Amino acid sequence: MKEIEDYQGKKALVIGFGISGLNAAHLLVKLGAQVTANDMKTPKDPRVVADLKADGITVITGSNPLSLADQGFDVVVKNPGIPYDNPLVAKFVEKKTPIITEAELGWEIFDGHLVSVTGSNGKTTTTTLTQLMLAKSSTHTVKYAGNIGVSFSKVAEELGPDDTLVTELSSFQLLGAPTIHPHIAIITNIFSNHLDYHKTRENYINAKLNITRNQTKDDFLIMNWDRDEWQEIARRSQATIVPFSRQDKSHEGSYEENGDIYWRGERIMAAKDIRLIGPQNVENALAAIAAAKLSGVANEDIVSVLTTFSGVRHRLQYVLDYKGRRFYNDSKSTDIEATEVALQGFKQPVILLAGGLDRGYTFERLVPYFKKHVKAIIVFGQCKDKMKDAAEQAGISTILESENAITAVPAAWKVSEPGDVILLSPANASWDQFPSFEVRGDRFIEAVEKLTGRKENN
């Protein structure tokens, strides 16, 4: 951990008691700040508030009092998911009070080697693959953190100058990380996500580009090269661009050609030997390979990871087989693009479980994928009628409604046959029925275990 004095004697407000917010509050105390912590809800576990107060932190729960904006705070550390038009946050925006996220704090105290990953889809898998590849060949510690469920600043506290941290960063985190400067940055892809938060696609793109804002020609931006727009976006960076391409559009970085994976002309392995299924995971592997090769990782270590790693929880996670049916948990598919690529990963008939929070869009884009891959669909959540409309357009003969992703499991079983895949890939956020996609996925797995009498494949 780097010793800094930036917060010594400063008044800091932390808004949001998530994992990152709680760690940020305690870290700011260590850095010499006078800290107030605020959350709209009162934690169910009284130890959360007790631990904060024991560290000398002023705690305010149950609301976001607008009066906090008049208490002379020098900095605000907000939960990334809280939008900037939140009434309290908007007050600080108006006052031009610096507003950062915990990722910025993590970067400020970190003095090792930073690799950062962002993108609309594939972030978690790419982050995990990169960390595994780097750790396999390094004599120093290599960890991951960030949007992957591990606090950036907490891990940064534990690492030294010779260690490496691979961080998954969301657009929300990057908006509040103005000085972050990874030596290697990865953008897996950019679609049109979170427009309810960012308002416009350009705002969303700009948020993603914050990952490379402070990079120079001595740094590297690894970018998906398979769309012309993404190539143009990459050229807005000052970093040295390293492309990766599943469609063989560049040989300047990592790419797939005739079923084989290459790095700048050097064959590494056959794409079919990657254990993770689906074309999207070839892309994730290519991005991780680029970061690994730039970091000096040997081919045999890369191949070892890609032929053994079976997947990230909730991202096309294989759960178990039962009576000829194979269950997959893809609860992290919270947008249309993620479900598109999930469906493309299967040659078997798919019984799809889909639905969730209604963000105002429809699902016509899924129609061709439904036609090609889906034999039956179970819909649920706020947007179930819209999902049902797309299924009807695709000519799916078996369309059922269910209350949620849990009750959909026995319904899917009843219409399944040996050889089928039963896939939870909702194409929507979980917040209409579950607090997070992780909870949705865990509950799905529990329902599968209850149905089959077996435990998930670990």
Angle among Cα 125, 336, 308 to the nearest 5 degrees reads 20
Contact 411, 378 (CB under 8 A): yes
C-alpha 140/C-alpha 138 separation (Å) is 5
Query: Residue 329's beta-bridge partner residues?
Result: 317, 424
Q: Is 106 exposed, middle or buried (0-12, 13-18, 19+ CB in 10 A)?
A: buried
Whether 125 has a binding-site annotation, put simply, is yes
254 marked as part of a ligand binding site:
no
The C-alpha atoms of residue 376 and residue 412 are separated, in whole angstroms, by: 8
**End-to-end CA separation in angstroms for the chain:** 34
Residue 188 marked as a ligand binder:
no
DSSP 67: G
For residue 187, the one-letter residue type is I
Please tell me the distance from the alpha carbon of residue 226 to that of residue 175, in angstroms, as a whole number: 26
121 annotated to bind ligand: yes
398 is in an annotated binding site: no
Amino acid at 288: A
Helix 299-308 and helix 123-137, axial crossing angle in degrees, nearest 10: 130
Q: Is 153 a known ligand-binding residue?
A: no
Residues 6+ apart with CB under 8 A from 143: 131, 150, 155, 158, 159, 163, 164, 165, 166
Q: Which residue has the tokens 């990657």?
A: 274
Q: What is the DSSP string of 298-309?
A: -HHHHHHHHHH-
Structure tokens at 21: 């917010």
Is 441 known to sit in a ligand binding site?
Answer: no
237, 282, 280, 230: which is closest to 255 by C-alpha?
282
Cβ burial 245-256 (10 Å sphere, 16+ → b, else e): bbeebbeebbbb
Distance separating alpha carbons of residues 330 and 346, to the nearest angstrom:
13
3-class secondary-structure state, position 104 = helix
Per the annotation, binding residues are 119-125
Per the annotation, binding residues for ATP are 119-125
